[in-house]
Amino acid sequence: MSVTISSQTPWLMLFRMPGKPFICLEPQSHPVDAHNMEGQPGLVVLGPGDTVSWSLKIAVNQVLIAGR
């Protein structure tokens, strides 16, 4: 299997719930715990009514299903 990811954000959070057959990908503008880092690198702070929009593209060339 090959996966290609293209994101407008420099960070990507990968989450896998124990025992579940899937993963979650979340594009992020900042590293984990940026709120507590000096200079808050990449952190985008939105005020009331502000919005932000990014795109994430995931291309998978082949999916293998266990047992098939």
What residue spans define the domains of the chain? Answer: 1-36+54-68
Phi, psi angles (nearest 5°) of residue 46: -105, 140
List per-residue pLDDT tens for the chain, 68 residues long: 788 888 899 998 999 999 999 989 888 999 999 999 999 999 999 999 999 998 889 888 877 777 66
Among 16, 15, 46, smallest CA distance to 32 is for 15
Among 52, 60, 62, 58, smallest CA distance to 7 is for 58
Report pLDDT for 5: 87
pTM, full prediction: 0.62
Residue 57 CA to residue 53 CA, distance in Å, equals: 14
